[in-house]
Structure formats: C-alpha cells, structure tokens
Structure 1
Amino acid sequence: MTTASLTIQGQHLNYLRKLLLTADGKERAAYILCGRAVIDADPWDGQPHHKFISCEVISVPEDEIISSSAEHITWKTDSFVWALQAAQAKNLTAALVHSHPEGNDEFSTQDDTNEPDLIQLAQNRNGSDTQLLSVILTPDGNLVGRLWVSPQEVIPLRMIRVVGDSIRLHYPNRGLGVSPPAFQRQALAFGEALNQDLSMLRVGVIGCGGTGSAIAMLLPKMGIRNIALFDRDIVEDTNLNRLHGARQPDADAMTPKIEAVARSLVELGLGVRVKTYQAWIGEAECRDALKSCDVVFCCTDDHAGRLMLNRFAYYYATPVFDMGLAIEVSQGETPNFQALDGRVTVLAPAPGHACLLCREVINPVIARDEALKRTNPAEYERRKAEAYVIGEGNPSPAVVLFTTEVAIMAMQEFVHRLQGFRGEDGSTAHRVRKFHLMSDRKPAATPNPNCPVCGSVGVQWWGRGDVVPFLNQVE
C-alpha cells in the first residue's frame, strides 16, 4: 500500500497562517503547489511512499469567496482551475489548505462531500493520474492532511513536517505516546512529545568515521529507531581510536564501517532498525533511502558528497546537519594548535540562510577532482601527475575528544529545533566552536544572489523534489 507525507517550508506556513487565521474567525482557503519525491520502497517498511514538498503558496482571492463562517467556506472554482493549470505547467501537485477556526482537527462531513468533486475536476483537467492534497490548519497550529488519488480513494498523510528555523512534526496521536523505561528520565527533561517525535523520524548518517559513528551511537540513545548508514570505507587501524563501535578484529578483517557501527547499534537492545549502504552517497542505489529520511547528518569529509547534499537539503526541504573539524598544528617536536575548530551548519530552505557554497565550506575544484578520482581513477592519476588536480597530501590530525564533541553540538542543535529548549531565538544556522580558545562563534554569511542553491536564482528549486537529472546535476 502506498503511503504519503507532506513537508511544508516554514516560510510557507507563516504565510498560510496570515492568510487563513483571520481576526473575523471565519474559514479561509489557499493552495500550495508541491514538488514530490517518489520512493519505490521505504527502507524501513518496504512500502512505496510519496513525499510532497511545498514550493509555492497561492491565496484564494477575496472576490471568489461566495460565503464563509466559522464552520464552512464556499468559493468559486476559477482560482482552483488556475492553480491546477500552474501545477501542470510546473510538474507539481496542487494542495488545498483551509482553516478550521474552531479548532476541529478532523475533516468535516462537508469536506468529505466536496473534495471528491474537486479531485474529479482535477483529473478531468490535468489527467487521470493527477492527485490532490487536502490539509486542515487549526488556530493552535495543528495540521492534518490526506491525499486524494481518485474520487473513491483517499490516503491519510502519515506525517506533516514543517521545516525552517525549527522542525515541527504533525501525525496522528502525537502527544499520546508513553516513553519506554529507557527514555523516561529524558521525558522528565524534554517532555513525552519529544520522545515520540524522535521515535517517528527516519534519520540518515552520511559518513561513519569519527564524527559519523559518534552521531550514530547517540541517535538510538536519544530514541531514534529508524537509521540509515551510508559509507563505502572499511575499518582500518588508524581510525580505531575514534570510530565508535569498531574493534581490532574489524580492522583485521577490513570490515565495512557501516557494518561495525550497525552491529553496535543493534547490540544496544533499544529496538533500533538500521539500514546500511556501502556506497558513495551520490550513487543511484542510495537515493530511495536518502529521500526517505526526515533528517540527515552529513559527516563526510569529501567535497563532492557535501556538494550533492547541499543541493539535496533545498530541493527536498530536508534538514541537513553538516559537520566539520579543522585541526591545524605548528611544525615542531611539540605541536601547538593554530586552529582547533568544530563546525555545525544547518542546511534547509530559509530566506537569508547561506548554503555551504556561499559559506565557502565546499571547494568546487576539490569536488571536481574527487568525482574524477571516483569515476575515472586512471585519468585522475594522469592529471595529478601533471598537476592538474589536487593531490591527497598528508593525513589530517584527528582526535576522538573533538570529533565526538562536534557530533554532540549537532545533536544539541537538532534537539533544539524539535523541542525548543534554548528559547525562541535559539536556533543557529552556523556555529564554530574554537576548542583551544574555549569560545563559540556564529560567523555571518550572505547568500550570493546568483547562487543556484540558496540565492534568488536557486529559490525556484526549493521544494521541487524529483527532477531530471537528479538535483539538476549532470550525471
């Protein structure tokens, strides 16, 4: 059976609240044009899944409203037909959103009567495979939705996510769950709702080295049950000092990192379901699992992988917590730290937030060279010999104390965005911790207007989901 969910960009929800929750207490309506991620098989339940993502909000003009009260709204279909036309032209899916000012978070009998006619109209105009989303917004901020596949078939939305400076989840029976014994003391600090939210999420970890393995070990201890691990490397002697979950026999047997980490997660006995992918994150075999994730932690040290995830966060409105650790020491018998910087950057479609390219975290030239090495090793070596590509050089310093603390920084930002324990303005899109100076900094950055990801040029792609080629990148 196909399941469905919806992600709404935070800026879009703010606009919807202004349009629909009016002072007169009457119902109002609007449309959302949505991109879509088609997942052939969800890694954790095996079912096909359609994830819709908000791209654009369209208001219903006041002069089209025929009548409205606290319990109903009736309007002309002219704007609906226009929304269908726009959706078809942009290869998007239309969603109808209306308010229930009295707080009822269930579809009314009138909704059940009217919406089959609307999906029939949509299919008559745009084709028999056209789908229609319907969403209710209540004054307390609750969201409930369903997907009309035909006038006779409707699918309740499994989840509605709101993604921006915070992450808010809406799903059936939220807040009614009871924490397992292992997480009851966490509930005393954060409340039962956070534990339930964490248990519902699908989380991806890209890179299972020092930082990624630390993230992976923290996830089930926080209550995350559905985890996907992506890494193509094996355990070696040189990373045993910081790769959580790995043992000497793993290095001797050249065990894939994902297997060593997954084994440790399962052995915790906390009911975690781990899926593993021994491949570079940009490979086609990783896409269904990646698109299935509600949140992604990027712990890879390659620029090409970051370049892809940088776009992914905006196209799929999926929060990506990107991490890095820079250690620079002076030469000499006793090295001195010149830099000992841990970084956490949160990527999500939000106005004014700069992406990794605009923050100069990614070097496109190095990303190009990494892609060449991966796809054509012989040509890479030839160009390297002729100094056309950047060589590997000496290995960078790495210390488990700091890789693990960067992971904790990212987890704290993640939990705050779900629960808000730092207060209303506590979210930080870019934090740098200078361990040797005992200080945190929040370097500002302005999106380049011509940036194809976060600038005004790239905004048209926020929430577009599946496009060909994938993420508009040359394959």
Structure 2
Amino acid sequence: MKYSLSMTDQQQAEIKAHVLPADGKEAVAIALCGRRAGATSHRLLVNKIIPVPYEACSIREANRVSWSTDLLIPLLGEASRRRMAIVKIHGHPQNYPWHSEVDDESDRELFPSIYGWMEDDNPHASAIMLPNEQIIGRIVSPEGMFESLNVVKVVGEDLKFYYANTDLQNVPEFAKRTAQTFGEETFAKLKRLKVGIVGCSGTGSWVIEQLGRYGVGTLDLLQKSLRKI
C-alpha cells in the first residue's frame, strides 16, 4: 500500500507560520484530512488545520514540545463521524530531517488512543516540517509501528512533491542525455511522474516516444476507438 498526503500551498504556509515561529522553538498543529482509499494507495487530503496554542504546551524547546492532548477530544469526535484522518504536524527548527527518538515515543503514546476513538483501522499520520517547508510524514499504526508516507504533495501556482525515498537507481543508458541536459534532479522528478495520454496515433505516438525517451516513470495509454454507425 502506498500512502500520500496532499495540501494546498496556502495550507502549507499556514502550517509553517505556526509550527516554525520566530522564537525558534518547536510547535504543533493538527490537520483533519479526508481520505481517498484505493486498492493500492491511500491518500490523505488536508481539510482544515487546527494550531495547538503555544500556551497549551507544557514544554517548548528547540528540539522538544509537549502539549495537552485534551485539545484533541472534539477533533476526534468530528473525525470519527466523518471518517477523517488525524495528522499531527510539528516543526523541526533545527532542520533535523528525521523523526527523533522523542517523536517516536510521543507518537507511540498518542496514536493508539486516536485509533481507540475510531470505529475502523483507517490510517492516521505524523509529520514534521523543516525550515525549507519540506514535510516528512509517516503512518503510525495502532500498534505504534511506522511506515513512511511515499510522498507529500503541495498544490498551488507550482506543484511541490516531497518524496520519502530520494535514493533513486542509476540513470539508465537511454535517459543519460536527459540527465546530462536537465540535471539528475530533473530526471528524478520525471522518473516519478505518471502521465496519461489519450490518443496513441498521429501526434500521440510522437508524444509517447518523447516522454519515454525523457524517462517518465509511468505512461498510461488510452486509444480512442471509432465505430462507424
């Protein structure tokens, strides 16, 4: 199963403003998310963001935050009624790009209680935000096990994708020209794309060939069939 989290650029900015404040100390926000569950993927889509007030935190330091989970109670009721996901997001102002041992301990204490409120085992998640706005997330199971979100997507005037796995395979021979021309980072983005093409003859066939040569990861082809009536 692949997991992803999607939000708008305005929501990303709202989260950053709260969880990475000017005082350089950690802070927390909660996102209520809708779901799109498929056979092979589960998408979480941010619906609204609820900042945890700074004054509700018993500890706020540069590498640690502790807060009263009583604030979650009304949100859990709404999430249960609407079958939504809870995503906890906190900042890492020191730019530490992984969940810390303190984060692991906190998530293992919090999320079993969240699942206990729900009438199903649909996934909930925990995420961190870095000063460069990158978001790194993971699913936390009812048993306190962790599984990385495959990608966090931010939609606005530009599209941003934050992938869990940046260790890509070597560039294949047929795509080396693309990597040399546009850079390996661009090739990495192309490799992760999934592109749908409607119409595979004429212009479509040339587009398919070029996208393949550029190294696009997945091509979904749909040939329109014509029937004489």
TM interval, short-chain normalised: 0.7 to 0.9
Q: Is the 8 A contact 1:93 1:131 kept in 2?
A: yes
- Quote the Cα distance in structure 2 between the aligned partners of 1:232 and 1:110: 55
Q: Is the 8 A contact 1:187 1:194 kept in 2?
A: yes
Partner of 1:437: none
SS in 2 for 1:112: helix
- Quote the Cα distance in structure 2 between the aligned partners of 1:13 and 1:112: 23
Alignment of 1:230-309 (within 5 A): 230-234=222-226
Cα 1:196–1:235 change in 2 (3 A) is farther
Quick check: which one's strand share is greater?
2
1:179 counterpart = 2:171: yes
* CA shift digits 1:174-193 (9 cap, x unpaired): 27664333333333443211
* CA shift digits 1:237-264 (9 cap, x unpaired): xxxxxxxxxxxxxxxxxxxxxxxxxxxx
Partner of 2:25: 26
* CA shift digits 1:50-95 (9 cap, x unpaired): 1222222221122311111110111111222232223223332111
**What letter is aligned with 2:216?**
I
SS in 1 for 2:211: helix
SS in 2 for 1:31: strand
- Quote the Cα distance in structure 2 between the aligned partners of 1:163 and 1:210: 32
Partner of 1:101: 93
- Quote the Cα distance in structure 2 between the aligned partners of 1:62 and 1:111: 18
Q: How many residues align?
A: 229
Partner of 2:82: 90
- Quote the Cα distance in structure 1 between the aligned partners of 2:201 and 2:32: 39
SS in 1 for 2:141: strand
* CA shift digits 1:442-472 (9 cap, x unpaired): xxxxxxxxxxxxxxxxxxxxxxxxxxxxxxx
Cα 1:36–1:64 change in 2 (3 A) is same
Q: Is the 8 A contact 1:178 1:192 kept in 2?
A: no
Partner of 1:114: 106
- Quote the Cα distance in structure 2 between the aligned partners of 1:77 and 1:218: 53
Q: Is the 8 A contact 2:29 2:88 kept in 1?
A: yes
Partner of 2:126: 134
Q: Is the 8 A contact 1:175 1:192 kept in 2?
A: no
1:205 counterpart = 2:204: no
**What letter is aligned with 1:4?**
Y
Of 212-221 and 52-61, more deviation after overlay is shown by 212-221
- Quote the Cα distance in structure 2 between the aligned partners of 1:208 and 1:86: 46
1:70 counterpart = 2:62: yes
Q: Which has the larger radius of gyration?
A: 1
Partner of 1:251: none
Q: TM-score, normalised by structure 1?
A: 0.45
Cα 1:85–1:211 change in 2 (3 A) is farther
Q: Is the 8 A contact 1:175 1:196 kept in 2?
A: no
- Quote the Cα distance in structure 1 between the aligned partners of 2:183 and 2:227: 38
Partner of 2:48: 56
Q: TM-score, normalised by structure 2?
A: 0.88
Over aligned residues, Cα RMSD in angstroms?
Answer: 2.5
- Quote the Cα distance in structure 2 between the aligned partners of 1:208 and 1:235: 17
Q: Is the 8 A contact 2:112 2:144 kept in 1?
A: no
SS in 2 for 1:195: helix
**What letter is aligned with 2:146?**
V
- Quote the Cα distance in structure 2 between the aligned partners of 1:65 and 1:22: 14
Partner of 1:161: 153
| Higher RCO, 1 vs 2 (CA within 8 Å, ≥6 residues apart) | 2
- Quote the Cα distance in structure 1 between the aligned partners of 2:56 and 2:199: 52
**Shift of residue 102, structure 1, vs aligned partner:** 0.8
Partner of 1:5: 4
- Quote the Cα distance in structure 2 between the aligned partners of 1:175 and 1:227: 22
- Quote the Cα distance in structure 1 between the aligned partners of 2:167 and 2:182: 12
* CA shift digits 1:107-145 (9 cap, x unpaired): 111111111221111122223524311111111222211
- The percent of aligned pairs where both chains have the same amino acid is 28
SS in 1 for 2:115: helix
SS in 2 for 1:95: strand
- Quote the Cα distance in structure 2 between the aligned partners of 1:212 and 1:79: 54
**What letter is aligned with 1:164?**
G
1:149 counterpart = 2:141: yes
